[in-house]
Amino acid sequence: MIDPESTGTIGWIALATSGVVMATIVVADLRSMRIPNKLTYPAALAGLMLHTIASVSNPQMVWHSGLLDSLDGFGLGFVVLFAGFLFGGIGGGDVKACAALGALAGLATTMYGLLYMGLIAGAMALSIMIWKGKLLRCLGNMFRFFFTALIPGLQFEMPKEENSDPFPLGVAISGGFAWAMFEDGWMDAMPLLDLGG
């Protein structure tokens, strides 16, 4: 994440842009279960530009280091959610939203943002299953999926998409990135999940 304290105005612009993008993702996903390209494409470009400008204006950094950090965040956000998209259940707008936030956040913050997104998404999914009384059935479907995948000779049984309830993953994506940005920018304590080993 671009640090506002060391980069000044450009850092505050990057932080404000990230906040507006995350809020817009949440509103769009809650209203229509869609995240529009007219939000994600400009957000990704803004992330690339802001990181590049921040590194150019910092004499201690190589000019392209910010661009590379932004591209790495973009790539990680895209690849992780694209893998889920290939298996179904994740929409293309979610993939592009995560990539755009990765471009705005940079690589390190994106790693934490994805982890926290997973925690939030898991809590949301569990809450929906409990609310709709589907917890035991869903656990049974998951057990059959893993059992048939791991035991040789059994016919592999994929979970059926009609048995799953859609939920606004954009809320979890924005929440995870907001959590990671908050830790990165304003907390002196170690992150909740330490990736440093």
| Residue-level pLDDT at 137 | 77
Name the 3-class secondary structure at 165: coil
Domain ranges of the chain: 4-123+169-186
| Residue-level pLDDT at 108 | 92
Write the CB contacts of 188 (distance below 8 Å, at least 6 apart in sequence).
Answer: none
- HSE-up of residue 185 (Cα within 13 Å, Cβ side): 21
| Residue-level pLDDT at 66 | 86
Helices and strands (DSSP H and E) totals, the chain: 8, 0
| Residue-level pLDDT at 196 | 56
- HSE-up of residue 115 (Cα within 13 Å, Cβ side): 14
The 8-class DSSP code of residue 195 comes to -
| Residue-level pLDDT at 158 | 63
SS3 content of the chain, % helix, strand, coil (to 5): 75, 0, 25
- Counting as low any pLDDT under 70, the low residues of the chain are 59-64, 156-165, 186-197
Whole-angstrom distance, CA of residue 98 vs CA of residue 78 = 6
Q: Structure tokens of 162? A: 């009609």
Instruction: Please state the pTM of the whole predicted model.
Output: 0.81
Whole-angstrom distance, CA of residue 88 vs CA of residue 107 = 25
- Name the residue type at position 97: A
